[in-house]
Amino acid sequence: MKNKNLLIVISGPSGVGKGSVIKELLSYLETIELAISATTRKKREGEEEGKDYYFFSDDIFDKAIKNDEFIEWCIVHGNRYGTLRKEIRRINNKNKLGLVEIDTKGANKIKTSFPDALQIFISPPTIAVLEERLKRRKTESKEDITKRISNAKEEIKKIKHYDYVIINDSIFDSSKEIEEIIRKRFNL
């Protein structure tokens, strides 16, 4: 991997299992590394600077935006989150592929900075299955689930902008399918 700015983008609706698939993939594919996001959110107990997030003040985040240091950034629940260019360079300098888990809006923004990024969308088998998964998590209210399902329907409409779509029936199978795509794309 002599090229720099190598990036894999993984998107999909809330509850589809992106995090679980990525965790499985990271457990055995040593040529990838998850990019650490910057955020203006306050550090939670147990979180570490530079491991969980880069915790920025609003002023530092503003300066990073002004200096074009992000490949993308957005506002989520009143806090800002972004992927730093230098984070992808840091990973690539270790001869690894940078991996970001991001929503469809962020993925679209990344296309401007990294037009050659490998973009993978993880989809639920059906909306009904997604809704059942969200209910089983028992972390969202009924209203939140309704909103997430509505958002998922909109996100699924954007799959045509991705290089690959993976139907997540099984975390292991989905991670193996993504591994195969990565190996083929980057000649690993």
- pLDDT averaged over 10-residue windows placed end to end, the chain, 188 residues: 77 91 96 96 91 96 97 87 95 95 89 90 95 87 90 93 96 97 94
**Alpha carbons 98 and 83: distance in angstroms, whole number:** 11
Q: Where are the domains of the chain?
A: 7-185
Length of the chain, in residues: 188
Which one-letter DSSP state was computed for residue 26? H
Q: Which amino acid is at 179?
A: E
Residue 119 has what pLDDT? 97
Whether 91 and 33 have beta carbons less than 8 Å apart is answered as yes
CATH class of 7-185: alpha beta
